[in-house]
Amino acid sequence: MKTVASISFRDNHSLSMDVEGVVGISIGNPIKLDDGSYFCELIVRSGNGVVALQLLGDSTERFVVQSNAE
């Protein structure tokens, strides 16, 4: 068996995930929910499958993706 992703919970309550063989990352447009919050899905595609994160925030600005690419 080959490990293709691992999740770690840190002491400061943060989450770390390592995913191997990434082939694409996409984020959907935020959708307003009835209670005034917003929903958005972040998808990471790898050669071994898909990781999907369902995100909730209080405004569309919470889903702005910042790139550190040079």
The pLDDT, as a whole number, for residue 30 is 96
The pLDDT, as a whole number, for residue 1 is 59
Q: Per-residue pLDDT averaged across 5-21, rounded? A: 77
Gap between the Cα atoms of 16 and 31, Å rounded: 26
User: Pick the residue with more confidence: 7 or 48?
Assistant: 48
The pLDDT, as a whole number, for residue 3 is 62
DSSP 8-state class, residue 62: G
Domain boundaries, the chain: 21-63
The pLDDT, as a whole number, for residue 7 is 74
Q: Per-residue pLDDT averaged across 8-36, rounded? A: 87
**This prediction's pTM:** 0.75
